[in-house]
Amino acid sequence: MPPPPMGWSSWNSLGEGVNHDVIKAEADGLASLNTRITSGARYEYVNIDEGWWRSGQRDESGNFIVDTTQWPGGMQAIACYIHGKGLKAGIYIDAGPRGCGKRADGTHFVGSDFACYDHDFLQFAQWGFDFVKVDFCGGAAENYDPQTTYRSIAQAIRRAYSQTGHLMMFSLCDGGTIPTDKSFPDYGEGPWVWGAGVGTMWRTTRDITPDFGSVTYNLAGNYHPEGQHTGYYNDPDMMVAAMGMSAVHDQAHVSLWAIAGAPMILGNDLAKPLAAERQAC
């Protein structure tokens, strides 16, 4: 089986505080980390999570209006910089019209929706992104069925590939929702039942926090061996090593994710140097 996806995501350490210079520094940090890995798989993805689409607006053609103060040169420029470091670029959107997080004024960030999927995922591919994480806060708010929604997105990603030749890895992020609506085709079933072939990886649990109790909770909730096979992965969430736990707990956390065959997505601030006792992680 191929190794699980390996990379870094902005959410755990940066929240919505992302911009070109911040992500550039994180890409530099990941590239530097890779130079210390002497054998085996290396980290690939630099994933920009919620907060990249600050305006929350579209132009008259439906294109994302990107804040060029936040992203000089647009999203293509940061994807190009990441690629120039020998890495792959990831981006984020919600499956529904309302995002998970809120701006300083209390309004929600916004997402995509059924009418926008083809347009949005084509634009991501045209920008050069290699990975897309799709959250489900807006989908849940609209009472969308997870399986139906994510299958529609997977189809949009494949259509974008057919038009651009650029295939994005698809990460499903509904927190392991098990629908209770008997009208849904996945009633009583989490994404580990139907996710393989829809996406590459799917969240199985609630969001992780940087304490070892949360680490062990998410690890236990990730145990669905029937779902993980032939290049498809149960995802207990991004890692929280080097974010406040002890060095022993950091090392145990990374080891447990590796033993579980989980995606190895770092969440700490790679622009900051690691303490010496944590560099072995």
Closest C-alpha to 266, from 110, 24, 116, 45? 45
Element (DSSP H or E) covering residue 121: helix 117-127
Of the candidates 49, 135, 250, 269, the residue annotated as catalytic is 135
Q: What are the φ and ψ backbone dihedral angles of 192, each rounded to 5 degrees?
A: -65, -15
Residue count of the chain, please give it. Answer: 281
To the query of whether residue 207 is one of the catalytic residues in this protein, the response is yes
CB 142 within 8 A of CB 96: yes
Please give the C-alpha separations between residue 54 and each of 13, 65, 109, 137, in angstroms, as whole numbers: 18, 9, 8, 17
To the query of whether residue 174 is one of the catalytic residues in this protein, the response is no
Q: What are the φ and ψ backbone dihedral angles of 135, each rounded to 5 degrees?
A: -80, 180
Q: Report DSSP state, residue 280.
A: T
Dihedral, 79, 84, 86, 92 alpha carbons, nearest 10: -10
CA distance 227 to 194: 8
Return the half-sphere exposure (C-beta side, CA atoms, 13 A cut-off) of residue 45.
29
User: Are β-strands 108-110 and 98-102 bridged in parallel, bridged antiparallel, or unpaired?
Assistant: antiparallel
CA distance 275 to 131: 30
* Residues with active-site annotation: 135, 207
